[in-house]
Amino acid sequence: MNSPGYARKEESLPPHPLYSEKELDYSDYKQYQPEIDGCPKKVEMTTLVAENIVVQQEEYTQCNEQERCDHVKPPQSILLKGLFSCIKAPMKTTTKTGFNIGSLFVKGTAFLAPMAGFANLPFRRLCRELGCDFVTTEMVSAEGLVRCGAGSEKLLADHPLDRPRAVQLFGADPGSMARAALLIQERDLADVLDINMGCPVRKVVSSGAGSALLKVPQKAIRIVEAVKKAVDLPITVKLRAGWDQSNICAVELGLRLEQAGADALFLHPRTKAQGFSGRADWSLVADLVDAVSIPVIGGGDVRSPGQALSHMLETGCAGVQVGRAALGNPGIFSKWPKVSVNQSGTWIPSPDERLSAFERHLQLYIEYAGEKKAALELRKHVPHYFRGIPGASRYKAAAQQAGSCDELLDLARKLLVPGT
């Protein structure tokens, strides 16, 4: 297993699965001559971003000193871990080629996590409008769907602009999971079926579903086999690192799930025991990428687009799934191809960006559920949109008492853009 920080041997790093090497210039350092007179005086290090890939290249300018000086010359090579083992200056940008989940071609690398209570149709559409490439529904009970439960039906709400998407199922019985998957396929409600084996919530785990399946790998494998046999849709599995630190199983189980028919794996590298506390160990994502031949999408502790891109470069994962960082900040997806890898802290949207997203979220919610229900249900999103704004506490309290969408919007405008 890799050490924290996912340090890996350079010679073992495979090309990143999303990108082509054909446009890279491998000219030798000795052939590299900056088009300037005198010595190559380094002036700054610039981070370039093109097609979601970050490369670093030093800029040089003319030196006015005499022939002898001590300015640093261009580096012989620049290492991009997880992308190519060695790229020699100068560099050109790489070309994004995409990747497949089974028969489905996925164009991008930005994924929205299936957050229960939040990732409903309006929020998924909002994130997609702002640049998210692939979404997953809130988890749906296989038993509830087979029994025609109204709650399960609501979670399956669909829209032409909510594609491509995965429907996530949870359950402990292979037969019920297969029947639910078939119902979804027959009604054309999904492009991908995702099986939840990572939810740490007590109610789910006590039923034998979610992360409880990490303790019974044979049942987990039977579920994937049953679903794969029942439908033609691509099958993915959402995993956690393991039950606890003494029982890390993501890599071993991931290999067996691939053999059972999984077309891709989503890994949140925390244990069930951690819940959402502690640190997500991205070295496990790197280990899983090395172990399997199907795409791996990582998630956990991703708070900025730059951080997501850094994880992809370091681990070789095919994409990154964003969850809590998108709450109140769906614009995180709009910045995905435009940031440097060094922007590793939390991405903080401007007040104008927050207000614009909130207004659009409100519009989509009204379209989905009507004004009365939109005003009621959008209250839980308000603390996230107002997070970190000075004086927000009294506005948050007032928002919980708001009886209409107009009241909510008025509060948001007063806080985020005073004077409007």
Q: How far apart are CA 281 and CA 269, in angstroms?
A: 5
pLDDT given for residue 192 in this prediction = 98
pLDDT given for residue 338 in this prediction = 58
Classify residue 391 by its DSSP letter: T
pLDDT given for residue 339 in this prediction = 57
pLDDT given for residue 256 in this prediction = 98
Question: Which amino acid would we find at residue 72?
Answer: V
pLDDT given for residue 390 in this prediction = 83
Smallest Cα–Cα separation from 216: which of 231, 205, 202, 203? 205
Catalytic residue from among 39, 127, 199, 317: 199
pLDDT, one tens digit per residue, over 73-128 is 333 332 232 222 222 223 222 334 579 999 999 999 999 999 999 999 999 999 99
**Residues ≥6 apart with Cβ < 8 Å to 170:** 139, 140, 141, 142, 195, 196, 199, 204, 209, 210
Beta-bridged to residue 19, according to DSSP, are: 96
| Helix, strand, coil % in the chain, rounded to nearest 5 | 40, 20, 40
Q: How far apart are CA 208 and CA 214, in angstroms?
A: 10
Smallest Cα–Cα separation from 257: which of 232, 212, 297, 222? 222
Given the structure tokens 């290249």, which residue do they identify?
57
Tokens linked to 256? 């067996």
* Fold of the domain built from segment(s) 351-416: 1.10.1200
Q: How far apart are CA 375 and CA 400, in angstroms?
A: 10
CA atoms within 13 A on the CB side of 201: 8
Q: Of how many residues is the chain composed?
A: 420
The ranges assigned to domains in the chain are: 19-95, 99-338, 351-416
* Fold of the domain built from segment(s) 99-338: TIM Barrel (3.20.20)
On the 0-12 / 13-18 / 19+ scale of CB atoms within 10 A, 96 is middle
Q: How far apart are CA 103 and CA 379, in angstroms?
A: 39
Which residues of the chain have a pLDDT value below 70?
1-97, 337-347, 419-420
Q: How far apart are CA 104 and CA 166, in angstroms?
A: 11
Domains 99-338 and 351-416 share a fold: no
The verdict on whether 63 is a catalytic residue reads: no
